């Protein structure tokens, strides 16, 4: 465990002492919640006037129920202490209507068990046999009406809680440190000397798949992003389900509303999964449908674009498809001919662009009057990444490929486990002919066509030379779910949170997961192997690992369902490595419970997530040093992490703190098997989450400093770690924790790679354990820089000294001779 856990242990230890105090040392407290339940559990003591005075800043625990952040409410908390167990039991309402309640318990009012939720009149059953005395009270604090319980507690316990609170505040202050204070922090330190020595005998094998990428359809990363489709809402399946004011004609308009009309129909659709289509009634010639794309359609002069559309009409005829600039200029066009009546026909053509245009629209115009049905109107650049049909936007895919990821995780993130049971990502709905795929509401507030589906994800991995890592829900939806499900579980029908797939549907769900493995790896004679072959890929995709769950709360509903899935995979495909989940943070109930569960059940790898400040990364370099390692121990996949500055900017300070942390991860890469920065992609003006690794719009890409950090690690990974000793010319602890080094050997090339991070304003003259010519890649600048780029130089380190620039990340690659 980390130092942090040790400190926690000491504080908790005083609780045992505190319990031995006499009742004379006790005081009366009122525990309650305020601010419409967002405060979590608070404590107040009585003033001599009889009024309650809150112990400020003391928040014992909050509710985990409901959607993100302020949606998580704790109403009417009832805290009491079990006479038999000595445990603190806490029940609370999670909805204002009082229908649903939560329960958690704690030995010390600091560490709490994973919360469980039940119908309100079932909640007390979770407490079991314990007995207790308590009084409920309605009162007002700071002018707000509050409700909670009054109890007696030893004064020493209150002091211990205050001490713990101070300790947490101290940590928070440390973690909030930024380079802004470096002028004072490093005053008087003009230069630093560092020398590194090696003990080659102690070299240890490390993971050779340490640096991968995390792809999630967040921030318009897929439709409108990496997926090359240029028509928005091509299948007329957008609806108010996706966003309250959206509808099936979103992004579409008539070219001239005086000449006819358009309506949405569902009669005889092309496919039952794609029920809506546009019916255009042309009263006068010249009426067409126009699509505005994703913030316009970006067209490049000389490029060719594949147009296709399902069309049905009672008469044969032709259709003009054109790309039009904002000032009405025709940039390119083609004609599609329909020579069948009353049947859906998929028509295709090619448009060659005559000019550049950042903001074109696409129009499709029937030559004849009458009724015309349209669906799946698609415009794809011919020049996709690796020339794949239904492929990826080339420039974006290229910058991803440049990261040299050893694996690609998909389709999320929260998108994988969905907002409520009904929104769990069903991979089968994302494969096969495009018109048969099921579009889905994206919990990030938009629509997924899933034209970029599991088959395309596998192809992307193949093209990148990366291992596929599909992540599927562990039978439970996102811990921040807000949507109701089509069924209830544990008496909770009103909410998606903490539900699970009902037990009688689990066998089918588990079969879906096994079918995915078969789709990826099975012989073409198997049902799912044959589907892969029919999609154009008879060779297996070589799936070796699968993620089950995404930062779920480790509830009973989770454990039960995860266990069923894990056992089924182990028994049917013992060679597939299952990656489990240990909650959304680097500490707390789910982390603790998740690790306990993983070790007990010998889960090969678990997925840790943490989005933290640069200060956290600087001061937690030791985080993995004491994790158990060795044969049979559960390993770590650091599946989502990113340094978050308060302003959420992607600057060099954040990037260098990630680089620094990764030197520590590399040192521990016998226990940390894989890492992936998250999120990966974000479309400008459509960003739900910051920071991200790569920002883009339709025409350009902005690579962040963190992108270069990932690229420098991905291109310089090793499989053997060379333990080293470091001597610094100063014993200033602020210097020590801001310098990082890691030395690895890549046994394929035989190259030795030294990584050096300097998060101080001073040069660091570094005596290296190796000499000779090296290829050096450097990222450096001012901490607030957002547009720094790596530079590569050939450097002769014959004197064995390398000068690290201030605020820099350097990778020195010594080629094998
Ligand atoms: O990376 C963005 C989100 O962060 C992921 O979807 C989720 O897993 C995490 O909370």
Q: What residue owns the CA closest to ligand 1's atom 2?
A: 679
The verdict on the CB of residue 639 being under 6 Å from ligand 1 is no
Residue of 219, 413, 688 best suited for mutating to test ligand 1, as the one with most atoms within 8 Å of CB? 413
Alpha helix ranges (H) inside 207-274 = none
Question: Number of helices (H) and strands (E), helices first, in the chain?
Answer: 14, 44
Ligand 1 in reach of 412 Cβ (< 6 A): yes
Rounded distance from Cα 680 to ligand 1 centre (Å) = 11
How many Å apart are CA 351 and CA 374, to the nearest integer? 19
Count Cα neighbours of 225 within 13 Å in the Cβ-side half-sphere: 27
Residue 444 CA to ligand 1 center (angstroms) comes to 10
Residue nearest to atom 4 of ligand 1 (CA): 413
Residue 416 CA: nearest ligand 1 atom is: 6
Which residue's C-alpha comes closest to atom 8 of ligand 1? 413
Query: 690: CA distance to ligand 1 center in Å?
Result: 11
Judging by DSSP bridges, how do beta strands 635-643 and 605-612 pair with one another?
parallel
CA of 414 to the centre of ligand 1 (A): 6
Does residue 229's CB lie within 6 angstroms of at least one atom of ligand 1?
Answer: no
Q: What is the pLDDT of residue 12?
A: 34
* CA dist., res. 164 & res. 272, Å (int): 58
Q: How far is the CA of 413 from the centre of ligand 1 (A)?
A: 5
Tokens of 168: 């947490």
Question: Cis (ω within 30 of 0) for the bond into 411?
Answer: yes
* Terminal alpha carbon distance of the chain: 41
Which amino acid residue places its CA nearest to atom 3 of ligand 1? Answer: 413
Q: Which atom of ligand 1 is nearest to the CA of 415?
A: 6
Q: What are the per-10-residue average pLDDT scores of the chain (817 residues)? A: 33 34 75 94 91 90 85 94 94 91 96 91 90 88 91 93 94 96 95 94 95 98 98 98 96 98 98 98 98 98 98 98 98 98 98 98 98 98 98 98 98 95 96 97 97 98 98 94 63 61 95 98 98 98 98 94 98 98 96 98 98 98 96 97 92 98 98 98 97 98 98 98 97 97 97 98 97 96 97 90 97 92
Whether residue 693 has its Cβ less than 6 Å from ligand 1: no
Instruction: Give the ligand 1 atom nearest the CA of 678.
Output: 1
Find out whether 367 and 317 touch, Cβ atoms under 8 Å.
yes
Pocket test for ligand 1, best of 68, 547, 548, 551 (most atoms within 8 A of CB): 551
Ligand 1 proximity of 413 Cβ (cutoff 6 Å)? yes
Using CA atoms, how far residue 411 sits from 215, 450, 569, in Å, is 6, 10, 20
Both tokens of residue 351? 């448009």
Judge whether 551 counts as a catalytic residue: yes
Looking at the DSSP bridge assignments, the partners of residue 142 are none
* Cα separations in angstroms, 771 against 468, 753, 797, 802: 38, 12, 5, 10
Element (H, E) at 73: none
Q: How do strand 801-804 and strand 764-767 relate by DSSP bridges?
A: antiparallel
Gap from CA of 220 to ligand 1 centroid (Å): 14
Q: Nearest Cα to 788, choosing from 615, 644, 650, 611?
A: 650
For ligand 1, say whether the CB of 414 is within 6 Å of any of its atoms.
yes
Query: pTM of the full predicted structure?
Result: 0.94
pLDDT of residue 56: 80
Calculate how far, in angstroms, residue 640's C-alpha sits from the geometric centre of ligand 1: 7
> Is residue 550 lining ligand 1, measured as CB closer than 6 Å?
yes
Ligand 1 pocket member 307 (CB < 6 A): no
Report the pLDDT value the prediction gives residue 741, as an integer from 0 to 100. 98
Question: Which residue minimizes the CA distance to atom 9 of ligand 1?
Answer: 413
Q: Give the number of the atom of ligand 1 that is nearest the alpha carbon of residue 551.
A: 8
Report how far residue 619's alpha carbon sits from residue 175's, in angstroms, rounded to the nearest whole number.
7
Sequence-separated (6 or more) residues with CB below 8 Å from residue 447: 223, 233, 237, 238, 242, 243, 246, 439, 440, 441
- In degrees and rounded to multiples of 5, residue 54 shows phi and psi of -65, 145
Q: What is the pLDDT of residue 13?
A: 33
Catalytic one of 229, 551, 577, 640: 551
Phi, psi of 84 (to 5 degrees): -75, -45
Pocket test for ligand 1, best of 218, 442, 583, 694 (most atoms within 8 A of CB): 218
């Amino acid at each position: 465990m980390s130092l942090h856990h040790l400190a926690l242990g000491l504080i908790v230890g005083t609780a045992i002492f505190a319990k031995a105090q006499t009742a004379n040392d006790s005081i009366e407290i009122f525990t309650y919640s305020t601010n419409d339940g967002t405060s979590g559990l608070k404590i107040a003591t009585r003033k001599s006037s009889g009024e309650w005075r809150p112990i400020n800043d003391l928040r014992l625990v909050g509710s985990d129920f409901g959607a993100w952040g302020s949606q998580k409410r704790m109403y009417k908390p009832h805290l009491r202490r079990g006479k038999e167990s000595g445990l603190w039991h806490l029940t609370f309402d999670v909805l204002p209507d009082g229908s649903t309640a939560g329960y958690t318990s704690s030995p010390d009012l600091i560490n709490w068990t994973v919360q469980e939720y039940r119908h309100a009149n079932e909640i007390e059953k979770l407490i079991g046999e314990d007995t207790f005395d308590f009084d409920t009270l309605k009162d007002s604090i700071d002018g707000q009406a509050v409700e909670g319980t009054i109890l007696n507690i030893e004064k020493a316990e209150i002091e211990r809680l205050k001490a713990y609170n101070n300790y947490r505040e101290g940590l928070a202050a440390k973690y909030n440190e930024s380079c802004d204070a470096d002028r004072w922090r490093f005053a008087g330190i003009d230069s630093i000397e560092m020398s590194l020595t090696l003990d080659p005998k102690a070299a240890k094998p490390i993971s050779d798949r340490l640096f991968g990428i995390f792809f999630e359809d967040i921030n318009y990363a897929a439709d409108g992003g990496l997926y090359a489709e240029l028509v928005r809402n091509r299948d007329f399946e957008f609806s108010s389900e996706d966003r309250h004011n959206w509808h099936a004609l979103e992004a579409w308009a008539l070219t001239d509303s005086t000449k006819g009309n358009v309506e949405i129909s569902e009669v005889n659709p092309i496919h039952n999964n794609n029920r809506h289509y546009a019916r255009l009634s042309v009263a006068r010639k010249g009426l067409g449908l126009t699509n505005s794309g994703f913030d316009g359609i970006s067209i490049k002069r000389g490029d060719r674009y594949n147009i296709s559309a399902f069309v049905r009409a009672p008469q044969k005829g032709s259709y003009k498809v054109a790309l039009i600039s904002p000032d009405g200029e025709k940039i390119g066009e083609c004609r599609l001919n329909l020579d069948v009546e009353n049947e859906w026909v998929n028509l295709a053509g090619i448009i060659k662009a005559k000019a550049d245009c950042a903001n074109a629209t696409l129009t499709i115009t029937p030559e004849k009057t009458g009724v015309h049905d349209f669906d799946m109107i698609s415009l794809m650049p011919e020049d996709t990444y690796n020339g794949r049909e239904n492929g990826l936007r080339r420039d974006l895919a290229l910058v991803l490929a440049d990261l040299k990821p050893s694996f690609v995780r998909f389709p999320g993130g929260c998108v994988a486990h969905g907002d409520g049971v009904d929104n769990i990502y069903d991979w089968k709905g994302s494969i096969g002919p495009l018109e048969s795929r099921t579009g889905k509401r994206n919990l990030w507030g938009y629509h997924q066509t899933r034209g970029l589906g599991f088959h395309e994800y596998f192809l992307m991995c193949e093209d990148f030379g990366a291992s596929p890592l599909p992540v599927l829900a562990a039978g439970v939806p996102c811990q921040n779910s807000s949507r109701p499900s089509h069924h209830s579980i544990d008496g909770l029908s009103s909410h998606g949170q903490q539900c699970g797939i009902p037990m009688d549907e689990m066998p089918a769900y588990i079969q879906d997961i096994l079918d995915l493995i078969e789709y990826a790896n099975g012989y073409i004679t198997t049902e799912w192997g044959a589907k892969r072959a029919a999609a154009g890929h008879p060779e297996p995709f070589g799936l070796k690992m699968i993620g089950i769950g995404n930062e779920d709360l480790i509830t009973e509903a989770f454990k039960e369902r995860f266990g069923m899935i894990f056992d089924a995979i182990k028994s049917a495909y013992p060679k597939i490595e299952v990656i489990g989940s240990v909650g959304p943070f680097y500490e707390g109930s789910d982390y603790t419970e998740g690790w306990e569960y993983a070790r007990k059940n010998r889960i090969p790898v678990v997925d840790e997530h943490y989005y933290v400040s640069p200060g956290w990364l600087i001061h937690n370099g030791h985080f993995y040093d004491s994790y158990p390692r060795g044969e049979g121990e559960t390993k770590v996949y650091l599946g989502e992490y990113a340094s978050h500055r308060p302003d959420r900017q992607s600057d060099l300070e954040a990037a260098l703190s990630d680089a620094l942390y990764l030197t520590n991860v590399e040192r521990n890469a016998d226990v940390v098997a894989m890492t992936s920065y998250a999120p990966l992609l974000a479309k400008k003006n459509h960003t739900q989450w910051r920071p991200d690794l790569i920002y883009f719009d339709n025409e350009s890409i902005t690579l962040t400093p963190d992108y270069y950090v990932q690229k420098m690690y991905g291109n310089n990974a090793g499989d053997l770690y060379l333990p080293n000793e470091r001597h610094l010319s100063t014993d200033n602890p602020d210097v020590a924790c801001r310098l990082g080094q890691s030395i690895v050997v890549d046994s394929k090339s035989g190259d030795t790679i030294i990584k050096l991070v300097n998060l101080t304003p001073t040069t660091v003259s570094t005596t290296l354990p190796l000499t000779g010519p090296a290829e050096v890649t450097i990222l450096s600048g001012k901490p607030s820089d957002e547009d720094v780029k790596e530079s590569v130089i050939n450097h002769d380190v014959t004197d064995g000294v390398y000068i690290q620039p201030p605020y820099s990340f350097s990778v020195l690659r010594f080629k094998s001779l």
